[in-house]
Structures are given as structure tokens and as C-alpha cells.
Amino acid sequence: MTERTKGTAVVTGASSGIGAEYAVRLARRGWDLVLVARRAGRLAALADRLREETGARVETAVADLADPQDLARVAARVAAGDVALLVNNAGINGYGPFAEVDAALLTKVLDVNVVALTVLTRAAVPHMLERGRGAVVNVAFLLAFAGSLPPGPLPQRAVYAGTKGYVVTFTRTLAAELAGTPVRVQVVCPGLTATEFHLSRGEAPVPGEARVHEEGGMPAADVVTASLAALESGEVVCVPGLPDAGVVDRLAAVERALREGSGRSVAARYRRAEDPEA
């Protein structure tokens, strides 16, 4: 993935953090770019910098992926013949108590984190299959695996974590479907990352210059380093800070055990609940 001939990469959520780091790294590796985000000023500044530093061709698309018209416009660009890599990085969190967070914000979380990611992947994959090359990287988060853990220190996150759980399952299942084709699919699941993500719940982008939330975390550059290395080696699930990659295999084994529950007979413990003498 180092030659200019690889084509064009589309990166959503490219105006800061992990998305901006993908843009920098890919431009340095010889990719041309389409950068998508809500903040026109930041996109323009990043595009100018990358053109000057790397000679890459850089387009910008100012878009709110929760808006159906904006999403359709970006999807049309993703479906173009030159796009060989899609990085679905855009995401918002909508953190807060489920019963109290504004319902419109939670809808926006679903629209950006689930609907847009799915629509853009659907726009990309058929054309990648036709051309015989391509890759999709979906950015999730380790909160996808935090379902039963209580808030404190973790955020109140029911909808956000649910959307990231979708991203993990969607990507893993799609990767299995596309096994044996020239199209690769990856989900990267960082933990706390040193970006500005926690400075906003997502109603509007963080204003001003890029900065990092007080919680800190792994540098965005390290997240992208892990993701690109995993994409080259064929890892479908990339957890940048996880020393033991075998954990993912053990997760798959547990899932296989859970699927044994698809038998014809109800488990004995449920029969006992209905008839204690059974």
C-alpha cells in the first residue's frame, strides 16, 4: 500500500484526531485523498498542508453525514472508479443517561455511526469487487465490548456502545462474506485516544483549533500505525493496544459455543422455571 497507483482513499471525520492522522499517513504513502468532515476551515487547512508536503491530490467534501443529502453526495463520490480505500472514521458519541439525552441527538448518533457507515460501505464494495481490489476500514471503539460494565469511570453510553457493537459485528460478518475476494475489510477498535472526541457529544463539531481532551489516551498516530499494519497482515479485528491477538480467536470460540443455543429444545433451566418438579 505504498505506491501512488493505489488510487484514491476516502476518509470521513478527517478534520481532526484519528481521521486526520489517517489522511496524513495515507498521503505520505502515496494515496490521493477525499477528505470528508463538517468543518470546512480545518479540512481546507489539512488539504493544503498535504498537497504541499506530499504532492497528493486532495479533494474536500464538507458534509454532515447525518444529513441524507450530504450522505448521498459522499456516497456517490465513494462509488467512483478511482476509490480503492474507504476509511469510515466519522462518529459522534451522544453520551449521557439514556432517559435524559435528547432523542434527536441519539438519532444523529445512529445516523452517523451506523447508517452512514453502512451506506458508504455499500457504495464502495461492489465497485471494488468489480475492479478486483479495495479495502474498507471501519473505526469502532473498545466500548463495543463494554455492554455490562457500569458507568464510572466509563461514560454513560448505551446508544454509542450499541452502534460500535454494530460496527464490529457488521465488519466481521462482511469480512467473512468477502473472504476469498480481493476486497479486505477491517474494524479497528482503539481504547481511549488522545483526541478531542470527548469535548463534544456530537450536536456540533468542536470549534477552534484542534486540541486533546483532558483524559489523554493513546496517540492517534499509534492507532493508525496499528490499523495500517493490521490491514496489510490481514487482521480483521485490530485492537491497537492489545498484546495478545489470540483474544479475538477466543472470542470467536465463545460465539460458536453461544450458537449451540439454536437447537430444537429449550434449555433445562428454563423448563425448571416453568415447572419446578420437571
Whether 196 is covered by a domain: the verdict is: yes
Cα 67 from Cα 91, distance rounded (Å): 14
Q: Is residue 277 part of a domain?
A: no
Helix-helix angle 17-28:40-54, to 10 degrees = 20
Neighbours of 26 (CB within 10 A): 24
Task: With respect to residue 91, please indicate whether it lies within any of the assigned structural domains.
Answer: yes
Distance CA 86, CA 67 (A): 19
Q: What is the pLDDT of residue 269?
A: 85
- Residue 197: inside a domain, yes or no? yes
Residue at 274 is within a domain = no
Q: What is the pLDDT of residue 207?
A: 64
The per-residue pLDDT for 55 is 95
Backbone angles phi, psi at 180, to 5 degrees: 90, -5
For residue 79, report the phi and psi dihedrals to the nearest 5 degrees.
-80, -5
Residues designated as active site: 160
The CATH number of the domain holding residue 213 is 3.40.50.720
Taking a C-beta distance cutoff of 8 angstroms, is the pair 239, 189 a contact?
yes
Q: How many CA atoms does the CB half-sphere of 256 hold within 13 Å? A: 6
Tell me the whole-structure pTM to 2 decimals: 0.92
Residue 276 lies in a domain: no
Run means of pLDDT, 10 residues per run, the chain, 278 residues: 69 96 97 97 97 97 98 98 97 95 97 98 98 97 94 92 98 98 98 78 66 78 98 97 95 94 88 68
Q: Which domain holds residue 178?
A: 4-243
Instruction: Please count the structural domains in the chain.
Output: 1
Q: For residue 266, is it within any domain?
A: no
> Is residue 226 one of the residues assigned to a domain?
yes
First CA to last CA distance, the chain? 62
pLDDT for 194 equals 78
pLDDT of residue 213: 63
Question: In angstroms, rounded to a whole number, what is the distance separating the alpha carbons of residues 1 and 107?
Answer: 36
Q: Collect all residues with Cβ–Cβ distance below 8 Å to 180 and sequence separation of at least 6.
A: none
Question: What is residue 141's three-state secondary structure?
Answer: coil
Residue 41, all three cell numbers:
476551515
H/E stretch holding 128 reads helix 117-131
Chain Cα centroid distance, residue 275: 47
Amino acid type, 243: P
Reference 78, options 104, 116, 42; nearest CA is 116
